[in-house]
Amino acid sequence: MAATHRRTVLGDAGDDGRVGAGGANEQHRTLADSATAVLHEAILTGRLPAGTPLRLNEMADLLGMSMSPVRESIRRLAAIGLVEVVQHKGAWVMPLTVEDAVDTHEARIAMETALIERAATRFTAADARRAEAALDEHVAASERGDATAARRAHTEFHFTIYRAAGSRWLLRGLEPVWENSERYRFATVTPTGQNEERVREHRAILDACVAGDVTAAVAAVQVHIQHAADRVIGKMNIDAAEVPAAREPVRARTGR
């Protein structure tokens, strides 16, 4: 991939490379934070597709920094499961597979069920206002085509609800699973009708929490995650089936 194209893919780090007067350690943290944010966003949105090698010297050059903070950023991304690092071989974006998609969504169902069971009994008016605002922003950002803002608002909606559960460890356990799930969500093209369905599902989750209805909240979140899994796995299966179909005419012509 040409360097100019890779810069477009990664986006502009903007002012993140500027460092204050906190010394070398603070400078390293600042640059590592910047590199992590840029690479994280590019991986989640698919601008760095599954299997893309993350070569230290190339990434450092494109991000305009030394290899040390880039190395740290890759370690952080590996810690949350978005990057695979093999000693003496390098690092690359983790692959997307049907098996992993199933495992990811099953883990989400288990953890988010536990969280929402607790959250629905503790949900406050302030929680409801924050979740409502995040849901409104998610819808608005989706309608204006701002995928980054929509993703952040979507995450804020769910985690506003889950924070009401009051479980620090369940939230920490969910975060890497959630991040991996977002990669699959971005890899799935959602028809307009399904966008509307997702809004209804989000509304059902919020309404159940506001009402303190644990049974309805659990059912709503499980349906929501299962539908997300069905969309992702269905799209992956279609894509896999289309590969040999696309190649078949080439083989037929070659045989003549």
The secondary structure of 147-209 as a DSSP string is HHHHHHHHHHHHHHHHHTT--HHHHHHHHHHHHHHHHHHHTSPPPHHHHHHHHHHHHHHHHHH
- Let me know the angle formed at the C-alpha of 249 by 247 and 250, rounded to the nearest 5 degrees: 65
How far is it, in rounded angstroms, from Cα 71 to Cα 74? 5
Mean pLDDT of the chain: 84
Residue 217 confidence class, pLDDT cut points 50, 70, 90: very high
Residue 185 confidence class, pLDDT cut points 50, 70, 90: confident
Residue 24 confidence class, pLDDT cut points 50, 70, 90: very low
Length of the chain: 256
| Per-residue exposure over 49-64, b if at least 16 CB sit within 10 Å of its own CB, e if not | ebebebeeeebbebbe
pLDDT at 162 over 90: yes
pLDDT at 30 over 70: yes
How far is it, in rounded angstroms, from Cα 140 to Cα 131? 14
Q: Which pLDDT value is given to residue 248?
A: 44
Residue 20 confidence class, pLDDT cut points 50, 70, 90: very low
Average pLDDT over residues 9-29: 46
Q: Which pLDDT value is given to residue 196?
A: 87
Residue partners of 68: CB distance under 8 A and separation at least 6: 28
Token output for 58: 């190339």
Give the Å distances, CA to CA, from 167 to 83, 116, 180, 182. Answer: 27, 11, 21, 22
Residue 14 confidence class, pLDDT cut points 50, 70, 90: very low
Q: Which pLDDT value is given to residue 46?
A: 84
In this structure, which amino acid lies at residue 31?
Answer: L
Residue partners of 154: CB distance under 8 A and separation at least 6: 134, 138
How far is it, in rounded angstroms, from Cα 233 to Cα 87? 31
How far is it, in rounded angstroms, from Cα 224 to Cα 199? 10
Residue 93 dihedral angles phi and psi, to the nearest 5°: -65, 135
Q: Which pLDDT value is given to residue 195?
A: 81
Q: What DSSP element (H or E) covers 86? A: strand 83-86
Of the CA atoms within 13 Å of residue 159, those in its CB half-sphere come to 17
Q: Are 236 and 101 in contact (CB under 8 A)?
A: yes
Q: Which pLDDT value is given to residue 26?
A: 54
Q: What is the pLDDT of residues 229-256, one digit of tens each?
A: 999 999 888 888 876 544 444 333 334 3
How far is it, in rounded angstroms, from Cα 212 to Cα 159? 17
Q: Which pLDDT value is given to residue 244?
A: 55
pLDDT at 76 over 90: yes
pTM for this predicted structure? 0.77
